[in-house]
């Protein structure tokens, strides 16, 4: 069929850092066979999504086409790539493919949410490839900040696609496969149609540094420390966790892992064979008996998360362990934009306890990024020599900058945000159509649409407070006065009388004077009562609260 086409579609990840979810398709328009790459989450915040537990891409488009999905391919085990698997699989029910370490995490997520673990298939890395409908897919090892990260080499009837996943060019990653330019030259040798490429660090001007570069400075810092040493990093950065643990051992310290994710990641890494020589660790109970100068804690919570071990320690005793004046706390991490306040809260709490905190602003090099910086992207462009570069994984500014970079490297490019269906069949990428791409909120146990209004109502209550009015009518006569309750509003305002009393007085006067016609019409009555509340509240306290009116009608 001459009208078959090759499409790319981001449902998440092309408009934010996080929430990755990409689709490729081959076939006649609206009959394409599809593969899905990654199903990740992003995290809520009080400003835009209060009370929400997790955020992921809206997969309604995919769900409606699930009979056309050949498989779901997970590049690596970071939450923003695998985190939604448990929540979304039952809506898609396609087989999942991943390498061993990633599959281990995907399987746990699936089983935690009642999914069928048999849906998970462990694949071998490149040069192994397998057919999935019109596609052939191979998992090409690439360095990142978690073991067994892979790029996908996707062969299609229209040519080869390289989907980088998250990556950096690290020849000495300590754990997992090093960056291997020869491997990539081989992959590129037959020609690559499209490089779909990580964009997160496009604004970082200098070539990225290797994971191996942080070891010496960390080791020196730990060996100079006098009291207890506590260090935090992303638990999934198994290489870093190992570096930290080894620095502790080298300084004659026992190592203790605190926080569920930290223990889980190390266990999973040992179980799946990616980590072979991790130092012996002691339990928190054992740690309690060890002199603090001989102890090193590796803890969760590098982003200031309130429930993590770092926050627990900053507040007081945590699993029987407690920081003291003269201890050292190391953030072997970067604060993700948006998390600054949470991290500062912890640093200040440690400061109050006399703990010295070392972080990214302390002048040392205790962290490296897991993503390709601008010159590394140049290297990748030059090595893969694709017909076109499709920037992915980034906010709009990152995608746009990456597209400009590709063009400056003589490559075609296009900015394709979430929802843009890119037709890659011809020589130039073009946007064929836009589909509705949105966000799904996991709210408690329920998946709700970001635009459903539920969270909007919460934000309104948080900003404006809430007034409840109840009124009982019998045959269109008020039985007693309107009753008012307030939540999240000051008890008194300008008149110094209780706000509820002032509101009840004004509402009562209205009801006393109201015509039968008004009292007989629920809608009109509710509107009047609401307006009185808002006007009186504005006079009294300078705010227009949210108002709920409940009218109960009894018949005599």
Short-list 200, 155, 195, CA closest to 409: 195
Which lies closer to a copy of itself via its Cβ, residue 505 or residue 526? 526
Give buried/exposed letters for 277-295 (b at 16+ CB in 10 A, else e): ebeebbeeeebeeeebeeb
Distances (CA, A) of 140 to 98, 127, 365, 399: 11, 7, 30, 23
Stretch that binds a copy of itself, among 120-128, 187-195, 209-217, 332-340 (CB under 8 A): 332-340
For position 341 contacting a copy of itself by CB under 8 A, the verdict is: yes
Q: Does 205 bind a copy of itself (CB under 8 A)?
A: yes
For a copy of itself, which residue of 287, 299, 347, 533 counts as binding (CB under 8 A)?
Answer: 347
CA atoms within 13 A on the CB side of 56: 25
Per-residue binding letters, 444-483, with a copy of itself (x by CB under 8 A): xxx-x---x-xx-xxx-xxxxxx-x-x-x------xx--x
Q: Tell how far CA 221 is from the center of its chain.
A: 31
Mask: binding to a copy of itself, 349-388, rule CB under 8 A, as x and -? -xxx-x--x---xxx-------------------------
Nearer to a copy of itself, 307 or 397 (CB): 397
Q: Give which of 251, 231, 252 is closest to 356, Cα–Cα.
A: 231
Beta partners for 154?
Answer: 137, 161
- Contacts of residue 308, defined as CB under 8 A and 6 or more positions apart, other chains included, come to 259, 299, 300, 301
Binding footprint of a copy of itself, residue count (CB under 8 A) = 70
Which of 489, 502, 511, 519 lies at the binding interface for a copy of itself (CB under 8 A)?
Answer: 489
54 vs 274, which CB is nearer to a copy of itself? 54
Minimum distance between the CB of residue 367 and a copy of itself, rounded to whole angstroms? 17
Please identify, using beta-carbon distances, which residue of 122 and 459 lies nearer to a copy of itself: 459
Tokens of 478: 């008020």
What backbone phi and psi angles, to 5 degrees, belong to 135? -105, 155
Helices (H) and strands (E) in the chain, counts: 17, 29
Listed residue (339, 550, 543) closest to 460, CA to CA: 543
Task: Find the distance separating the first CA and the last CA of the chain, reported in whole Å.
Answer: 75
| Residue 397 in the binding site for a copy of itself (CB under 8 A) | yes
Sole binder of a copy of itself in the list 129, 369, 518, 548 (CB under 8 A): 548
Nearer to a copy of itself, 35 or 421 (CB): 421
Closer residue to a copy of itself (CB): 134 or 482: 482
**Residues of this chain that bind a copy of itself (CB under 8 A):** 45-47, 50-51, 203, 205, 337-338, 340-341, 344, 347-348, 350-352, 354, 357, 361-363, 395-397, 399-400, 417, 443-446, 448, 452, 454-455, 457-459, 461-466, 468, 470, 472, 479-480, 483, 485, 487-494, 538, 540-543, 546, 548, 550, 552, 554
């Amino acid at each position: 069929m001459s009208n078959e086409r090759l499409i790319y579609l981001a449902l998440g990840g092309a408009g934010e850092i996080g929430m990755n979810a990409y689709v490729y398709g081959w076939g006649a328009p609206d009959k394409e066979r599809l593969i899905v790459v990654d199903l990740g989450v992003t995290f809520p915040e009080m400003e835009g999504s209060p009370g929400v537990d997790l955020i992921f891409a809206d997969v309604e488009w995919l769900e409606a086409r699930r009979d056309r999905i050949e498989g779901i391919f997970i590049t690596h085990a970071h939450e923003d790539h695998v985190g939604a698997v448990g929540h979304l699989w039952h809506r898609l029910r396609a087989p999942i493919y991943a390498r061993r370490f990633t599959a281990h995490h995907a399987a746990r997520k699936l089983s935690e949410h009642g999914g069928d673990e048999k849906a998970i298939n462990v694949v071998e890395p490149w040069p192994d490839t397998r057919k999935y409908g019109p596609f052939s897919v191979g998992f090409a090892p690439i360095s990142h900040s978690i073991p067994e990260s892979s790029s996908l080499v996707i062969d299609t009837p229209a040519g080869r696609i390289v989907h980088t996943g998250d990556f950096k060019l690290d020849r000495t990653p300590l754990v997992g496969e090093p960056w291997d330019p020869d491997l990539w030259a081989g992959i590129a040798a037959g020609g690559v149609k499209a490089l779909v490429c990580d964009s997160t660090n496009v604004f970082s001007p200098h070539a990225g540094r290797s994971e191996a570069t942080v070891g010496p400075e960390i080791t020196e810092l730990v060996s100079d420390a006098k009291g207890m040493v506590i260090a935090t990093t992303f638990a999934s950065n198994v290489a870093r966790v190992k570096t930290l643990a080894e620095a502790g051992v080298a300084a004659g310290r026992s190592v203790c892992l605190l926080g569920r994710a930290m223990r889980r990641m190390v266990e999973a890494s040992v179980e799946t064979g990616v980590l072979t020589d991790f130092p012996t660790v002691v339990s928190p109970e054992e740690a309690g008996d060890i002199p603090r100068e001989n102890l090193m804690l590796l803890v969760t919570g590098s982003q200031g998360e309130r429930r993590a071990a770092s926050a627990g320690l900053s507040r007081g005793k945590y699993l029987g362990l407690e920081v003291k004046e003269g201890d050292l706390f190391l953030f072997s991490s970067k604060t993700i934009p948006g998390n600054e306040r949470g991290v500062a809260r912890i640093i200040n709490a440690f400061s109050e306890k006399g703990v010295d905190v070392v972080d990214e602003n302390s002048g040392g090099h205790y962290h490296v990024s897991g993503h390709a910086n601008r010159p590394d992207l140049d290297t990748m462009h030059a090595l893969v020599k694709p017909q076109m570069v499709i920037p992915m994984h980034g906010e709009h500014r990152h995608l746009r900058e990456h597209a400009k970079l590709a063009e400056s490297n003589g490559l075609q490019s296009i900015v394709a945000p979430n929802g843009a269906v890119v037709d890659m069949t011809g020589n130039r990428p073009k946007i064929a159509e836009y589909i509705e791409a949105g966000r799904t909120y996991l709210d408690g146990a329920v998946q709700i649409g970001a635009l459903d209004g539920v969270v909007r109502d919460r934000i309104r209550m948080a900003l404006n407070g809430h007034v409840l009015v109840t009124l009982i009518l019998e045959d269109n006569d008020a039985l007693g006065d309107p009753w008012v309750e307030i939540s999240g509003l000051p008890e008194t305002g300008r008149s110094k009388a209780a706000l509820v009393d002032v509101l009840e007085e004004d509402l009562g006067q209205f009801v006393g004077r109201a015509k039968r016609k008004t009292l007989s019409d629920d809608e009109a009555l509710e509107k009047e009562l609401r307006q009185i509340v808002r006007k009186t509240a504005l006079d009294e306290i300078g705010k227009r609260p949210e108002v709920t009116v409940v009218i109960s009608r009894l018949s005599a």
